[in-house]
Amino acid sequence: MGKKKDSKGSGKALSKAEYYEALAPLQVQLNDVARWLQHTGRRLLVVVEGRDTAGKGGVISAIADTLNPRQCHVVALPKPSDRERTQWYFQRYVPHLPAAGEITLFDRSWYNRAGVERVMGFCSKDEARAFLKQAPAFEKLLVDDGLLLFKYWLTVDQARQEERFAERREDPLKRWKLSPIDLKAREKYADYTQAREAMLEATHSKHAPWVLVDFNDQRRGRLALIRHLIETLPEYAVPETLIDFPPLGHEPLKERFKAGLKPI
């Protein structure tokens, strides 16, 4: 297997002000990418994976927050229904793949089978082995069809993960992130490590490589991931169309409402 790319953070933790100052120009570039996708009809798919508390949701929000939600779609599927459990495993993910000019961000993806399903016994050993064999072939079909596919694994140390678990337990606004599966996973840390290594070994390929990103400092990790995504894409500059406003139609100085309704 070829060496997995590794994008690492370094130095002291970034302050919130430093982070937003560095993020702002990257979000401008992401909007340039979005315009390029619409101009060319290319399709962009980003898979974000990692242990619980690694920071998947945060980096996905950093990418999507300033993009048109009609163009950029975040996909975080719930557990499969009884009917979906009888389908070909990849089938439930296919409808969420991007169309021309679109971006899809998977907050977890088909790699659930290689991680939580395998470790927690939600699939059989044969199903897990079949997935590791089929995933590279499935992804090659996507890439061969012109899809721009990026796969990121967010790395986080166990001590830092425990700090974040404790923070979620104490913060009522984050407590919803702690599920029974998350708590059970703490007992199976080594099993998850073994499953991750088997997954990376089997599914890291030339056409769809994994990129490891250090997320012990989530702010640095977000910036590193977004920079890598932007820098790895093909040339994305397209002519910008300036917007000219038409003449403003006449309106009363103060908007009036019927039936005595008043704005609050």
Query: Is it true that domain 5-260 has CATH number 3.40.50.300?
Result: yes
Q: How confident is the model at residue 261 (pLDDT cuts 50, 70, 90)?
A: confident
Here the contacts of 179-182 (C-beta below 8 Å, separation 24 or greater) are 181/116, 181/120, 182/52
CB 177 within 8 A of CB 168: yes
pTM recorded for the entire structure: 0.87
Q: Taking all residues of the chain, what is their mean pLDDT, rounded to a whole number?
A: 91
Flag whether pLDDT at 250 surpasses 80.
no
Could you tell me which residue, 33 or 251, shows the higher pLDDT? 33
Cα–Cα distance between 37 and 43 in angstroms, integer?
A: 7
Q: What is the pLDDT of residue 11?
A: 61
Flag whether pLDDT at 257 surpasses 80.
no
Could you tell me which residue, 217 or 173, shows the higher pLDDT? 217
CB 58 within 8 A of CB 108: no
Flag whether pLDDT at 155 surpasses 50.
yes
Domain boundaries along the sequence of the chain = 5-260
Q: What is the pLDDT of residues 47-98, one digit of tens each?
A: 999 999 999 999 999 999 999 999 999 999 999 999 999 999 999 999 999 9
What residue ranges in the chain does DSSP mark as E strands?
5-7, 44-50, 72-75, 103-107, 148-155, 210-214
Which CA distances in Å does 246 have to 243, 249, 263? 10, 9, 28
CB 135 within 8 A of CB 203: yes
Q: What is the pLDDT of residues 118-131, one digit of tens each?
A: 999 999 999 999 99
Cα–Cα distance between 72 and 202 in angstroms, integer?
A: 29
Mean pLDDT, to the nearest integer, of 206-233? 97
Instruction: Write phi, then psi, for 165 (nearest 5 degrees).
Output: -60, -45
Residue 203 tokens read as 């599914």
Q: What is the pLDDT of residue 198?
A: 97
Q: What is the pLDDT of residue 213?
A: 98
Choose the weakest-confidence range: 20-29, 91-100, 232-241: 232-241
Give the list of residues 6+ apart from residue 44 with CB closer than 8 angstroms, or none.
33, 37, 98, 102, 103, 104, 147, 148, 150, 233
Cα–Cα distance between 151 and 4 in angstroms, integer?
A: 11
